[in-house]
A and B are shown apart, each in its own frame.
Chain A
Amino acid sequence: MLELSDLHTYYGESHVLQGLTLSVRPGEIVTILGRNGMGKTTLMRSIIGFTPPRRGRVCFKGDDVTRWPPFRMVEHGMALVPQGRRVFASLTVRENLEVARQSRTGQWTLPRVLELFPRLGDRATNRANKLSGGEQQMLAIGRALMSDPDLLLMDEPTEGLAPLLVREVGRVIAGLKREGLSILLVEQNLPLALSVADRVHILSRGQIVHSSGPAELMANETVKARYLGVA
């Protein structure tokens, strides 16, 4: 589904991703863990095309999509749930979903997104900046689904949410996986990340320093202490 090989991404002179290689297979959830400032969000920005890598290759569904503009990525079947949600504040909930609709027909339509998140239906005519944090997160996920993606990039979808809502997001992610969606998930919440992941990578200083299944990582106290600050 997604193959990243030897990605190098810079912010100006700052060398953030330093030769990163990973892949996401169809129907799989791959989780990226790591402390703040280690390049997790930069990785997401490099893939969707906000901050294209200076070197390396991004292959998606068999096509070399390196340095494609973001809207072409979306047309090709990739969608992003960005860090900080970034819903369009002056648009209504319905408009936030409508602008993300793609012309290709697929299984995700407005009624289905509203079925998944009934709360968004109740608030369809409210402006997005009037929503609570949890509702905004649901909107950000629903908006990404509106393009009917094959691969979902999710950047810290539980950031700043109350425990109850974290569990809700976890249920949604597990449900999307059952629908066959491939997901690359950046997450700080270790229990959630491990419960949904098929494979886990830990990112430190722009490189992958550990790769394993979730159960192995759970058991590996050394790695958890060293890279995740878990005692």
Chain B
Amino acid sequence: MTAEFWIIQTFNGLSYGALLFLLASGLSLIFGVMRIVNLAHGSYFMLGGYVGLSVVWRTGSFTAALVAGAVAIALIGIGMERLFLRRLSGQTLGQVLMTIGFALMFQDLALLIWGGDPYTIPLPAALQGIVTAGALRFPTYRIFIIVVATLVGAALWIVLDRTRVGAMIRAAVDDREMAQGVGIHVPVVSLGVFALGAALAALGGVIGGGFLGVYPGADFEVLPYAFVVVIVGGLGSLPGAMVGSLLVGLLDNFGKALFPELSYFTLFAPMALILALRPTGLFGRA
């Protein structure tokens, strides 16, 4: 084990954690505001990747793919919340079953439209290079992922912590009923948060499509990771999603590098331990 191994693996873990943050921050926000356990969140990631793929094929523009993926999936999220989930407000089991129903339908739909072959979203030349520092080689694309996640995280933090809209969202997380009782249009806030969460997952899907690929089953492959991040960090907490993502990204990466045969163990054992000691997660509130 050389120092290079540790640096590169840490870097890989951080970049994977950055991708997980895009996926999990939306899931956590949605749960915090609406108490919906959205099992279709992985589908937003996968569909975002597929939409991005089609857009790159048509236009050749990676930027257009990012925007189109996020917007298209935000619209799907808005439709799901407005037309279906809202009717089941407060019925946890009904909502969970409905979101898993949607997840399975999205899976079939993706198979029908894009077929069963795996694809990788072609990257613009600017992101294909490698940055070298001495003997160390860092793929530009992984640096790009870390930068995007950092910018998204900073933007989310500023909006949530520094604006009146952000305070309204946090008020709805604290006490949804009382938020309505002081005049906050909680249904509108919920819809906005749901759309934002779906868009972030899709953004993660397009970005992930350039490095993990886009393929059938990607939805249910990323979903457990997103849930581990959110549960470890604390449901509904943005700092929790940040720390949880980095922790899971690093654990998963070092687990696979050091003990490939135990990779699930190195991921889920710390989760069980954290939950046993802090049932609300690292940053969660009771």
Q: Residues on A close to B: CB < 8 A?
A: 48-50, 69-71, 74-75, 79-80, 82, 86, 88-91, 95-96, 98-100, 102, 143-144, 146-147
Contacts and interface: CB of A to CB of B under 8 A. Distances in A.
B278 interface: no
Nearest to A81: B181
26 contacts: A48-B181, A50-B181, A69-B187, A70-B181, A70-B183, A71-B181, A71-B183, A71-B186, A74-B181, A74-B182, A80-B182, A82-B178, A86-B178, A86-B181, A88-B174, A88-B179, A91-B170, A91-B174, A95-B171, A96-B171, A99-B168, A99-B184, A102-B183, A143-B182, A144-B182, A146-B182
Given A71-B180, A99-B171, 14 more contacts: A48-B181, A49-B180, A50-B177, A69-B187, A71-B186, A74-B182, A75-B183, A82-B181, A90-B285, A91-B170, A91-B174, A95-B170, A99-B164, A100-B182
Contacts of B246: none
Nearest to B180: A70
A180 to B, nearest CB: 21
B185 interface: yes
Contact of A90 (B170, B180, B181): B170
Interface string B144-183: 0000000000000000000010011011011101111111
The 3 closest A-B pairs by CB, nearest first: A74-B183, A100-B182, A70-B180
Interface residues of B, dominant DSSP: helix
Interface in B119-167: 164, 167
Given A98-B164, A99-B168, A88 B178 contact: yes
Contacts, number: 67
Nearest to A48: B181
Interface string B178-200: 11111111110000000000000
Interface residues on B, range: 20 to 34
Nearest to A100: B182
B170 A88 contact: yes
Contacts of A82: 178, 181
Contacts of B174: 88-91
Contacts of A147: 182-183
A47 to B, nearest CB: 11
Nearest to A85: B178
A89 B183 CA distance: 17
